[in-house]
């Protein structure tokens, strides 16, 4: 079982954020209120609420019965549910994956790609794909989100974004709302 949820965060008003604070875990609400002017604060708050909402839908329980926590690495977890999760946000979109097995998700808004990064991070095969692309910006972010969702899945962290994606990782990449690349990674086996 794998379910993906999304929430646009571009136009969140102060009233919207107040409602999100009521729906968030208490620690996230406090953190948001003390840092609401910090870039990314709204997206982080929205990600927590989206994760709680997603888990409540999958478990068929009220959101008030879902709590979140984080591993020392910062990866979100849903304690006591048996569910695995991953969240990502980028420039107005928050996405969340909830599954019965480990999962990683990433999203990026399509824009002018920092192609110089590709030389340092992408494999030779990925560079050839990028070089031959009709839309190199879209392809760059498809590859980037694939890599980032894989490191979220494996727990390797962004320091290993340029590493080899293990053979037992399967990634699905798609465009969402025309402007976003989204990738979801799972293991091909559970052994």
Q: Which pLDDT belongs to residue 165?
A: 79
Quick one: 17 and 96 in the same domain? Answer: yes
Q: Which pLDDT belongs to residue 189?
A: 72
- Residue at a domain's end among 56, 75, 100: 100
Instruction: Say which residue, 165 or 118, is predicted with more confidence.
Output: 118
Instruction: Say which residue, 138 or 156, is predicted with more confidence.
Output: 138
pLDDT digits (tens, 9 = 90+) for 141-155: 999 999 999 999 988
Average pLDDT, the chain: 92
pLDDT digits (tens, 9 = 90+) for 51-91: 999 999 999 999 999 999 998 888 899 999 999 999 999 99
Quick one: 117 and 34 in the same domain? Answer: no
Quick one: 161 and 126 in the same domain? Answer: yes
Q: Which residues are paired to 185 by β-bridges?
A: 104, 171
**3-state SS string for the chain:** CEEEEEEECCCCCHHHHHHHHHHCCHHHHHHHHHHCCCCCHHHHHHHHHHHHHHHHHHHCCCHHHCCCEECCCCCEECCCCCCEEEEEEECCEEEEEEECCCEEEEEEECCCCCHHHHHHHCCHHHHHHHHCCCCHHHHHHHHHHHHHHHHHHHCCCHHHCCCCCCCCEEEEEEEECCCEEEEEEEECCCC
pLDDT digits (tens, 9 = 90+) for 167-181: 899 999 999 999 999
Quick one: 61 and 112 in the same domain? Answer: no
Q: How far is CA 159 from CA 79, 162, 183, in A?
A: 26, 8, 19
Quick one: 19 and 70 in the same domain? Answer: yes
Report how many domains make up the chain. 2
pLDDT digits (tens, 9 = 90+) for 8-33: 998 899 999 999 999 999 988 999 99
Task: Read off the CATH number of the domain in which 58 is found.
Answer: 3.90.470.20
Quick one: 90 and 118 in the same domain? Answer: no
Please give the span between the terminal C-alpha atoms of the chain, in angstroms, as a whole number.
17
- 45 has pLDDT over 90: yes
- 190 has pLDDT over 60: no
Domain that holds residue 56: 2-100
- Residue at a domain's end among 62, 84, 100: 100
Q: Which pLDDT belongs to residue 191?
A: 43
- 159 has pLDDT over 70: no
Quick one: 95 and 175 in the same domain? Answer: no
Distance of alpha carbon 10 from alpha carbon 6, whole angstroms: 13
Task: Read off the CATH number of the domain in which 134 is found.
Answer: 3.90.470
Quick one: 96 and 110 in the same domain? Answer: no
Sign, Cα dihedral of 110, 111, 117, 118:
positive
pLDDT digits (tens, 9 = 90+) for 92-110: 999 999 999 999 999 999 9
- 187 has pLDDT over 60: yes
Quick one: 141 and 164 in the same domain? Answer: yes
Quick one: 42 and 76 in the same domain? Answer: yes
Distance of alpha carbon 181 from alpha carbon 191, whole angstroms: 29
């Amino acid at each position: 079982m794998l379910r993906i949820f999304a929430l646009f965060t571009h136009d969140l008003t102060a009233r919207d954020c107040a409602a999100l604070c009521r729906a968030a875990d208490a620690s996230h609400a406090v953190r948001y209120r003390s840092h609401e002017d910090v870039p990314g604060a709204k997206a982080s708050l929205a990600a927590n609420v989206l994760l709680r909402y997603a888990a409540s839908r999958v478990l068929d329980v009220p959101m008030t019965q879902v709590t979140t926590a984080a591993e020392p690495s910062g990866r979100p977890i849903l304690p006591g549910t048996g569910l695995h999760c991953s969240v990502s946000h980028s420039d107005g979109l928050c996405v969340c994956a909830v599954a019965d097995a480990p999962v990683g998700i990433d999203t990026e808004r399509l824009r002018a790609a920092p192609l110089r990064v590709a030389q340092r991070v992408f494999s030779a095969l990925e560079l050839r794909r990028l070089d031959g692309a009709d839309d190199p910006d879209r392809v760059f972010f498809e590859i980037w989100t694939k890599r980032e969702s894989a490191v979220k899945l494996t727990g390797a962290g962004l320091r290993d974004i340029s590493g080899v994606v293990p053979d037992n990782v399967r990634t699905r990449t798609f465009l969402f709302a025309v402007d976003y690349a989204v990738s979801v990674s799972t293991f091909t086996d559970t052994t």
